[in-house]
Structure 1
Amino acid sequence: MRTHLAATIGTVALAATALAGAPAAQAQAQAQAASAKRFHVAVGNTWTDGTVTFYNRSVLVEGVHKSVGAASNLTCRTTLATTVNAAGPMSSKRSGDIACGNTKSFSFSVPADQPGGATAVEVCLTDANTTVLKCHVVFR
């Protein structure tokens, strides 16, 4: 009888522990989603607009950039993001899709592989040659 009672108490305790972990996982997911920050960088009629989501060792950059000029390296637009921590710039990455006389969506991840991750991200609108036109810093 005591063995059966101990097993039942152990099962109840294990189930309670599992249920207690569910709200913690949900809170962590909400905290990550809550860290998404908006950005908008415009030069004339061209722009990049979207969100930056900070994670422990990377940053997700998502959005849309627009070019209104004819397709040339000077009028096409792309988005460049650089992760930054207290020591300075960490990593840079450019969006894969270039907008040339149209609007293109993008989504890319930039490494921040240092303890604590990135404290900020510099998001820049560039031409097709990756010449920086204008930037905006997004803090964590």
Structure 2
Amino acid sequence: MRTQLSAALGAVALTGGALLGAPAANAQAVDYPDSSFRVEVGNTWTTGKLTWYNRSVLVEGTHKSVSSAGRAYCRLTWGRTYDADRALVGSKGSDPSDMACGTTRTFSFVVPADIVGGARLVRICLDDGNYEDLLCAPYWRP
């Protein structure tokens, strides 16, 4: 009887110890910082959220064009990443987002940052439909 009781208590202690040592099931493994951006030119703009990953920056948002009178009035958003010394990471930035012409359009794209720890700075640009920069603004990793 004493052996069975001892074995039962030992099993309970082992199970309890294993449960206490296990990580919580809903704990998030990694938190990635995020920040917002907004670039305005006249009555057109691009605005949204930056999510800073270890080797890239996710750019999600909306841009607005008020006229569809030609490519010069269309708008698109793109970005480039930089290291802590403001040196360009990689040879190019992101591919431009979907163009908005006389409308408001949502977008989502990734800017590569293939360096240890990821980008320290991203430059977000609002361009016209001819891929000419209208205005670019820097945003630092939080």
Q: How does 1:69-108 map to 2 (within 5 A)?
A: 69-86=67-84, 88-90=87-89, 91-108=92-109
Do the aligned residues in 1 keep the contact of 2:78 with 2:97 (CA within 8 Å)? no
TM-score (norm 2): 0.81
Candidates 4, 9, 16, aligned match of 1:12: 16
Contact 1:82-1:123 at 8 Å conserved across structures? yes
Q: Secondary structure at the match of 2:138?
A: strand
* Structure 1 position 45, deviation (Å): 1.2
Question: CA offset at residue 7 of structure 1?
Answer: 4.1
Larger Rg over CA atoms: 2
SS in 1 for 2:70: coil
Structure 2 residue matching 1:22: 3-state secondary structure: coil
Name the structure with the higher strand share.
1
Unaligned segments of structure 1, at least 5 residues: none
Deviations 1:41-85 (A, max 9, x none): 111111101111111121110110011122422111000111111
| Equivalent residue pairs, number | 134
- Tell me how far 1:27 sits from its aligned partner: 7.6
Instruction: Find the residue that maps to 1:129 and give its secondary structure.
Output: coil
Kindly provide the amino acid, as one letter, of the partner of residue 94 in structure 2: K
User: Unaligned regions of 5+ residues in structure 2, if any?
Assistant: none
Task: Tell me the distance in 1 between the aligned counterparts of 2:61 and 2:67.
Answer: 20
Identity of aligned pairs, percent?
45
1:136 matches 2:137: yes
> Whose helix fraction is larger, Structure 1's or Structure 2's?
1
The answer on whether the counterparts of 2:71 and 2:129 sit within 8 Å (CA) in structure 1 is yes
